[in-house]
Amino acid sequence: AQKITQTQPGMFVQEKEAVTLDCTYDTSDPSYGLFWYKQPSSGEMIFLIYQGSYDQQNATEGRYSLNFQKARKSANLVISASQLGDSAMYFCAMKAAGNKLTFGGGTRVLVKP
């Protein structure tokens, strides 16, 4: 069975600074994918970034990058140059066979001006 752990329930970050959100996972499948989704206060789920288990390079999407350490089973999200609009809940999720997702409990980020 897959498991995702996000150990930071909430954190503050100063505007324009970088922030790292932790995510560790557990799976026995050799092939899997890791996602990060953003959920602003309006409630929708917004896809941010994806890392496949066989991808050689860490994924990047604009100000988002994924620090993928396969041996440590971690897939931390780095947000560079934080903006006020980055204040939201962030969820790490793992894709299993059949494209089903297992989510972590989320991390709430509040960006301070």
Rounded Cα distance between 32 and 20, Å, is 22
Q: Work out how close the CB of 20 gets to another protein at its nearest, in angstroms, rounded to a whole number.
A: 19
Contact between 101 and another protein (CB under 8 A)?
A: yes
Contact between 79 and another protein (CB under 8 A)?
A: no
* Cβ proximity of 104 and 36 under 8 Å: no
Contact between 97 and another protein (CB under 8 A)?
A: yes
With CA atoms as reference, report the closest residue to 36 among 112, 90, 101, 96. Answer: 90
Query: Which x/- pattern, by CB under 8 A, does the window 25-44 give for another protein?
Result: --------x-x-x-----xx
Rounded Cα distance between 25 and 17, Å, is 26
Judged by the rule CB under 8 A, the positions of this chain that interact with another protein are 4, 6, 33, 35, 37, 43-45, 47, 50, 52, 91, 93, 95, 97-106
